[in-house]
């Protein structure tokens, strides 16, 4: 950590004398202020997400729709993120954004790499919301697994 600036009382860091700036001018603080900088560290390995992270998780099976296409959905409180089966995505021509998302630890303990992600709209009865789904090769038992995200 590096100390960038220290003011005994108040700071001008968040103040602007320019009337055309879109930033609001803040009142000076009545106590000492220090500004520290923490340089970026070495690159960390990709995050590992768990498909079934918790023991004793609760699951619920429900029919729904992704972008108005019927889907078999598993709601899994033990999954830390939500998934879409790549077979389902390809079958329904859903665009998969190819990225390096790290690895996912599956329920059987194996670690697998996702293909990418999909932004979509999930509908379950009267409930409708946008979802971010990680595209994985899942068993064909479910099209979507909704996790805790």
List of domains in the chain: 1-41 (no CATH), 48-146 (2.40.70.10)
Assigned token pair, 92 = 């329904």
Looking at residue 47, what is its pLDDT? 46
Tens-place pLDDT, residues 96-142: 999 887 888 877 788 888 999 999 999 988 889 899 999 998 887 88
**Mean pLDDT on 41-63:** 57
Question: What b/e sequence results for 35-54 when a residue is b if at least 16 CB atoms lie within 10 Å of its CB, and e otherwise?
Answer: eeeeeeeeeeeeeebbbbbe
Average of per-residue pLDDT values in the chain: 76
Looking at residue 121, what is its pLDDT? 92
Q: Worst-scoring range by mean pLDDT, 24-28, 64-68, 82-86, 143-147?
A: 24-28
Chain centre distance of CA 34:
32
Cα-based angle 17, 23, 28 (whole degrees, multiple of 5): 60
Other C-beta atoms within 10 Å of 96: how many? 17
Percent of residues, the chain, with pLDDT higher than 90:
28
Q: Decide: pTM greater than 0.85.
A: no
Give yes or no for residue 26 having a pLDDT over 80.
no
**Where does the pLDDT of residue 19 fall: very low under 50, low under 70, confident under 90, or very high at 90 and above?**
low
Backbone angles phi, psi at 6, to 5 degrees: -140, 130
**Burial class of residue 147 (count of CB atoms within 10 Å of its CB; 0-12, 13-18, 19+):** buried
In the numeric block, the tokens 């889907």 are attached to 71
Q: Worst-scoring range by mean pLDDT, 26-30, 42-46, 88-92, 98-102?
A: 42-46
Chain centre distance of CA 134:
9
Give yes or no for residue 71 having a pLDDT over 60.
yes
């Amino acid at each position: 950590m590096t100390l960038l600036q220290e003011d005994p009382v108040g700071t001008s860091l968040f103040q602007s004398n320019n009337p055309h700036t879109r930033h609001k001018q803040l009142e000076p603080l009545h106590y000492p202020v220090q500004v520290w900088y923490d340089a970026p560290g070495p690159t960390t390995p990709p995050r590992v997400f768990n498909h079934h992270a918790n023991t004793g998780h609760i699951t619920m099976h429900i029919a729904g729709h992704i972008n108005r296409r019927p889907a078999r959905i598993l709601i899994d409180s033990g999954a830390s993120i939500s998934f879409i089966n790549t077979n389902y995505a390809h079958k329904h021509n859903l665009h998969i954004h190819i990225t390096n998302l790290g690895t996912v630890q599956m329920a059987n303990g194996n670690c697998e790499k996702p293909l990418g992600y999909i932004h979509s709209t999930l509908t379950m009865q009267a409930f409708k919301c946008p979802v971010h789904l990680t595209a994985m090769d899942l068993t064909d038992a479910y099209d979507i697994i909704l996790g805790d995200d």
